[in-house]
Amino acid sequence: MKWEAALAEIEAGLASFQDVGRLVERCVAIAQAEGARSRLRIHARLAQIFDEHADFESARGHARLAIESADAASDASDAALVASSLQRRDVFEIDLEELRDNIAIAARMAATWPSELDDYLADARAQLSRSLPMDAEREANERALVELLERRGDDSLEELTSSRVRLCRLLLATARRDEAIAIAERIVARDRPPTFALVEAYAVLWEAYRARGDDDASAVRERGAALARAVDSVPESNTDDVIGFLLAPRPFPEQLVSPERVVEVSFGMVADPATRDERGRPTEDGLLSEKIFGPLAEFTCACGELSSFASYGQQCPRCRVEARTSRLRQWRFGSIRLSRPVMHPRCVTAVAALLDMSPGELRDVTSFDEPVLGGPLDAEQSIRERLRDGGARSFGGARGRADHAILEVLPVPPPDAERSPLRRPEVIAAYEAVLAANRSDPAALQGAVDALFTAL
């Protein structure tokens, strides 16, 4: 087909950074002549191509045009194209009306081809529930989501439990306690491993029992609180590589981690050099932040607005702290985004040898991304480029990404972990010095980071 050849030309043009405007116009003209079903396929494919080349605005525009042709869909493959177009349309923040429209389109087509659109519908309805106030529309949306997830079966059990819990909270907020109790009782009666959503169900059931004056309220709270401590004690991912990055005496190169990895395990950016406020409580963005690492007091946020087991899993709208248990502070990481890149102090000797420089020369470098003039390095390459090229070669019997020795993000370890470095005052002071230099004296940042790794 002509449009398939035009799409191939567009993809090739984007890959070689050419202006593809006229090619797109030609492809769209072909689409108009081909009919509605071909328009769906052409615009869906254009949305995918632009998405793959990070032109998200163009991707979203073509996704919208694909969706407008959805009524012409006549088989399951067309429904899958609509689903992918809906997802691309959601790349940017969209308003509630647009999200409602997306759900209506997907629901209409899901009546014929449910398996292709159920995943999108579940995600979109969950997003809509988070955006709506506690009103009749949100309740109807949540009931529709529960019905959809029940149809999908056990694969979505955790998601289904979360949706049922949100429905229970809506029912409690509108004084329909008995229905909320019936749903919550069915959740907790099922034998299953402890999960976040299961603890939320116990929290809702305890709140409803307590309001009704039920004798079983205290037993439900005791069981739910024990499950909460068990759930909050389990890290969401393995972070041994990040611990090794911080504490290994000579991490180069196999124990270096990328800045993206540090951000991935982080629950928030630490930015405030002050660790505690004038009342002695952790500052909001400091090294012991409750917002980042978890609350100090069980089921209680920092400002006290949330202060009971009934609030488990909810985030305080004022202080942004989750009402969970302090067990989170045993494994949650934070991070510090440095105002300028610095060299990992434990890697200076190894990196200098790899670059054929002296450690002193390397420490004098102020930018790792500018071409280095003179000396042993190629003037056309920066230190980062040389290290990236050299990251594939063996050093000391190991292989690794040598450019990750250039630090852009520092991990902050869990404050309450056993043997946490943050239990030692000298480490707290060293991190505070890094944060102070990061905020007001970037020239002193390398020295502050050197002192931090000495203290660690």
385-400 pLDDT tens trace: 777 765 544 444 444 5
Q: Which amino acid is at 337?
A: R
Cα 363 from Cα 428, distance rounded (Å)? 25
What is residue 399's predicted lDDT score, i.e. its pLDDT?
45
Q: Residue 283 has which token pair? A: 């500052």
What is residue 298's predicted lDDT score, i.e. its pLDDT?
94
pLDDT digits 0-9 by tens, 105-114: 777 777 766 6
Q: Which of 177, 201, 170, 200 is nearest to 187 (CA)?
A: 201
Element (H, E) at 341: strand 333-343
Other C-beta atoms lying within 10 Å of the C-beta of residue 171: 23
Q: Residue 212 has which token pair? A: 């009704």
Q: Residue 328 has which token pair? A: 């989170």
Question: What DSSP letter does each residue of 286-352 carry, written as one string?
Answer: STT-HHHH--SSTT--SSSSS-SGGGTTPBPTTT--B-S-GGGGGT-EEEEEEEEEEE-GGGHHHHH
Q: Residue 181 has which token pair? A: 């109790």
Q: Which of 50, 117, 128 is nearest to 79 (CA)?
A: 117
Measured at the CA of 79, the angle between CA 77 and CA 84, to 5 degrees, comes to 95
Global pTM value: 0.77
Selected from 1.10.155, 3.10.450, 1.25.40, 1.10.150, the CATH number assigned to the domain covering 157-232 reads: 1.25.40
Q: Residue 221 has which token pair? A: 């709270």
266-269 sheet: strands from edge to edge: 266-269, 333-343, 406-412
Question: Which residue is listed with tokens 């328009």?
Answer: 39
Other C-beta atoms lying within 10 Å of the C-beta of residue 214: 15
CATH topology of domain 1-131: 1.25.40
The number of residues making up the chain comes to 456
Cα 455 from Cα 430, distance rounded (Å)? 7
Cα 299 from Cα 322, distance rounded (Å)? 8
**3-class state of residue 454 by DSSP:** helix
Q: What stretch(es) of the chain map to CATH 1.25.40? A: 1-131, 157-232
Element (H, E) at 409: strand 406-412
Q: Residue 85 has which token pair? A: 């177009």
The 8-class DSSP code of residue 199 comes to: H
Element (H, E) at 201: helix 196-212
> Cβ neighbours of residue 425 under 8 Å, at least 6 residues apart?
none
How far apart, in Å, are the Cα atoms of 175 and each of 68, 135, 200? Answer: 41, 13, 19
> Cβ neighbours of residue 48 under 8 Å, at least 6 residues apart?
59, 84, 88
Residue 5: phi and psi, rounded to 5, are -65, -40
> Sign of the C-alpha dihedral, residues 393, 396, 400, 403?
negative
Cα 86 from Cα 92, distance rounded (Å)? 12
Other C-beta atoms lying within 10 Å of the C-beta of residue 281: 14
Cα 166 from Cα 146, distance rounded (Å)? 10
Element (H, E) at 266: strand 266-269
Cα 33 from Cα 38, distance rounded (Å)? 9
Question: What DSSP letter does each residue of 100-116 carry, written as one string?
Answer: HHHHHHHHHHHTT-HHH
The low-confidence residues of the chain, meaning pLDDT below 50, are 374-375, 392-399
> Sign of the C-alpha dihedral, residues 206, 209, 213, 216?
negative
Other C-beta atoms lying within 10 Å of the C-beta of residue 283: 19
> Cβ neighbours of residue 331 under 8 Å, at least 6 residues apart?
233, 234, 235, 239, 414, 417
Residue 249: is the preceding peptide bond cis (ω within 30°)?
no
For the chain, what percentages of helix, strand and coil (3-state, to nearest 5) are there?
60, 5, 30
